[in-house]
Amino acid sequence: MNIGEAATRSGVPAKTIRYYEEISLIDAPRRGANGYRDYSQDDVHMLRFIAHARGLGFTVAQCRDLLALYNDRDRNSADVKQIAQDHISEIDRKIGELRSMRATLDRLARKCHGDERPDCPILDELSADISGENAG
């Protein structure tokens, strides 16, 4: 099948498929007599695997590791679990950062009158961070 059909079947855009080939995340498919890429059902399966992993927030490097483990029938499931646990820790860290950002924005929004006056504590604090000052 051509790249367009592989993209449709896998849910991965053709441009992304070409990128994955370029960075050797997936093997370049064989070429047909016409010179076009000729994808197999196995290629589509790998693309779906990557799409699912990326949908869970795994990085390209982590996807590379997961694919290597997937293709290694002598793998230890502990290695796969470690990648997942490391990713969970990273997600938890990001959640903490997002909660902190939300709390800061909520505090600033509550301080702002939101009326026709030009003074705005939100802008004051943002500009204070830029200039190194500490606005209250």
36: domain CATH number? 1.10.1660.10
In a shared domain, residues 69 and 84: no
In a shared domain, residues 97 and 66: no
Instruction: Tell me what pLDDT residue 132 has.
Output: 56
**Residue that terminates a domain, selected from 75, 92, 120:** 75
Structural domain containing residue 70: 1-75
- Name 125's bridge partners: none
**Residue that terminates a domain, selected from 75, 95, 128:** 75
In a shared domain, residues 71 and 93: no
pTM of the model: 0.77
**Residue 123 corresponds to which tokens in the numbers above?**
């802008």
H helical segments located in 35-136: 41-55, 60-71, 77-111, 121-131
- From 93, 128, 132, 92, select the one nearest 108 (Cα to Cα): 128
In a shared domain, residues 101 and 113: yes
In a shared domain, residues 32 and 69: yes
In a shared domain, residues 10 and 64: yes
Model pLDDT for residues 15-41, shown as the tens digit of each residue = 999 999 999 999 988 888 888 889 999
**Residue that terminates a domain, selected from 75, 100, 124:** 75
In a shared domain, residues 62 and 44: yes
Model pLDDT for residues 49-85, shown as the tens digit of each residue = 999 999 999 999 999 999 999 999 999 999 999 999 9
Distance (Å, whole) CA 15 – CA 8: 12
